Structures are given as structure tokens and as C-alpha cells.
Chains A and B, each alone.
Chain A
Amino acid sequence: MTVHLPQRDAPDLKQLGPGPDPQPSRRGVLFWAGAALNGVAAVAIGIPVVGYLLAPFASSGRKQSWVALGHVDEFPEGHTTLGEYVNPFTTPWDGYTANTPCWVKRDAGDAFTVFAINCTHLGCPVRWFPESSLFMCPCHGGVYYADGSRAAGPPPRGLYTYETRIRKGVLEVKAGRLPTLQQTP
């Protein structure tokens, strides 16, 4: 069974007929040569354009890098406080968004743990409650213990942490990537 779909206002191609062309093979050659030329030019233009679009991956030096959070003494021992750092990769028009908050937990001496602000569920900013030693997320109610491990709610894992180090009394974190489920310790 074939289905017939009548074309209501299709132009009648047959009336146009083939044009006067004594050498059909030459026409074919021209067409294919033209197509090839276009193809080559399109590739020549296209590769840089694709490169432009994929620039976020290509930029050299866009690996994570160490940024300063502040002098060690700014973070009292035994407390978890809100830290702030400037993204290692900024543009002059970043405005507020150049800053990123994080939770800095100083246990004793130089033992630091720095947690990302983002809930591991969907990235909302978690808040620290020192009285109950819990992090709570305002979006879907994810809760974490003081050490960042998952306490309750929908998060699939504990809080993301940053690599830390101390250079000349300054606490530094390795930052520069939005923490998401598959790429963060």
C-alpha cells in the first residue's frame, strides 16, 4: 500500500525542461568542482570557528591553580568560617562573580579543610551552623556534618573539598573549577 500525498502547489518541473547544454559532462565537472571548492573553503573557515567555540577547553593555563584565601591567623582554631577567594580565571567584566565563597574549617594548628560552598545535590550554597555543627542547604534540605560528610537529605555524597597548602603563612586552595559530581574530590 502506497500513500499518496498530493502536492498542492508544487511547480511543474517538467515544463522547465533541460536547458540548452551540448556538453552535459562539462556541467557535471563544474558542479562537482564548485562543490569541492566550497567544501575546502568551508573547512578552512570552519576549523578556526570551531576552535573559537571550543576556546574554553583550549586556553592554556586554564588548569586549576593556587589562590590565596587569607592569612592563617584570620581563621580561628576549632572554627568553621566563611572564606572568599578570587577566581584564578577572571575577565575584567566578571563583577561580583569573580569571587567565590567557601567554608574554611581549621581544626588545630595548620590542619585545614576547605569545603566548596556548593551542595553536592544541585549546587545551592550551604550554610554553616556552629551551634549544631551542621551544614544545611536551603534548596532541598541537604545536611552535612562538620567534617563535610553527608548527614541527611538528597545529596549523593559529602561536601566537595579543595586541596589546600600554606605558603608563608597564607592559606591557599587549588581552585578554578565549578565543583560538580564527576570531577571533584
Chain B
Amino acid sequence: MIRRLFMVLCGSGVVALAACDWMPGRPERPTVDAHAPTMAFEPLWNTHCAGCHGANGRDGAARPLNDPLYLSLADDHWLHMITTHGVDGTLMPAMGTAAGGPLTPAQITVLIEGMHDHWGGAALQTAPPLLGELGAADAGATVFASHCAACHGDDGTGGHGAGSVVDTSFLALTSDQALRIAVICGRIDLGMPPFDGRRGLPPLTDQQVSDVVAWLAAHRVAHPGAPYPAVTSQGAQP
């Protein structure tokens, strides 16, 4: 009798303990080491890049990277280098641990591969190379008049479609190289077209791009922005 009771008690005890595994409060051992650096593209992008380049690589304040043209033209080593060390003359900060940033080289590789996987496309041979030298400013003026003035105004200070590209403060915050990329790739998320020969727009040659960038760069001044000119809402509107 007592022995039977004992067996029943033990049995139900074991069952009860097994049932405890189903309790909702039981914590699960984290599957990933919380202290190991993330090696997945999306969390890395959403923590370190989305702020400026946009949630889905578009519609951010800075250059969209969700841009097949840009990704097909950009060299991976160069992307790795500018992500690690930032870009001098622009607001792109150094993100690599080598330069005091938060991202390891492996993480930066994950980011670059992830951009290609998510947003990349077929390579385009018609577009001018992404990197290049400055050309002749005089020739650039002609290119600007034919390709850019329609939106940015005859003198570049802004027209119907877009704002000023010769503002000295704007030029101070961007590099010649960044200007060149903007001319080639446009800002597809904000309506500025790429001049790669598609969309019925006259394509720009390598030389034309170099010239127009030289023309823009010629508007740089020694002390941009000083001494804090009054900025009106009109001036800032496109």
C-alpha cells in the first residue's frame, strides 16, 4: 500500500518536472553569443548605415547605396577602404575598427557583400568610370548648360526641379569624387537621373563628367559658410 503510494508520488513528481519544461517563463539559452559581433547584413546596416543612407538603402540624407548602377561601378576594395576610413572632405565617418570605428573588417565585408546581394544588378559598360580626375572647367560649363541647367538653373544656383549645386557650403561638405559620383549615378531616390545613357537622356562621357565636376569645383571658396549668412527658408527650398 505505502509502496504503491510512493511509486505514484514519484511518478507524478517526474511528470510534473517534465511539465515544467513547458512553463512560459523558462528562459532559452541565447542561440547567438550576445557578445559576438553581428555578422548578418541587415542588423549591421540598420545599426550603422541606415541613419544616413536610408532604411532600405534609399531615401536617406546621403547617397543611396540601393542603386545597381553605383554598386556595379564601385570597386569592392575601394568600398571597403572608404567604409573603414571614411571619406576626407565629406561627412562619411570612419566606420572601421582600424580608424576607431565600430566595425571589424569582416563586418564591412559582410556589408559590402550584402549590398550586392540585396541591391546589386548587372554591370553596365556604357557608364563612365566611377573614379576619375578633374577635367577642364571651361568645357564643364558647356556640359552643365546642356545637361544640368534645366533643373539646377543656368548658373547652378537652383532652378525649378532642384536646388543650388554651387552653394559654397554645399561644395565644402562634399568632395570632387563625391560630386563625380553624383553626376554619374544621380540620386535615383530623389528624382535626379543617372547620366548613363538610359531613360532617353543624353549620356555623358568620362571627359564630360570630369569637365562638369571641374566646373562645379571651381566654385569652391577659401572660407565657405563664413560668416554665417542668413539662411532663409526660401533659399533652402529647391
Contact = CB atoms under 8 A, between A and B. Distances in A.
A116 to B, nearest CB: 19
Interface of A: 76, 79-81, 130-131
A80 B93 CA distance: 14
A79 B100 CA distance: 8
B37 to A, nearest CB: 15
Given A76-B100, A130-B93, A130-B100, 5 more contacts: A79-B100, A80-B100, A81-B100, A130-B94, A131-B93
Interface string B52-96: 000000000000000000000000000000000000000001100
A79 B94 CA distance: 12
A23 B63 CA distance: 105
B142 to A, nearest CB: 39
A80 B129 CA distance: 37
Interface string B139-150: 000000000000
Contacts of B100: 76, 79-81, 130
8 contacts: A76-B100, A79-B100, A80-B100, A81-B100, A130-B93, A130-B94, A130-B100, A131-B93
Contacts of A80: 100
Contacts of B93: 130-131
A131 B51 CA distance: 14
Nearest to A128: B100
Contacts of A81: 100
B15 to A, nearest CB: 40
Interface string B86-113: 0000000110000010000000000000
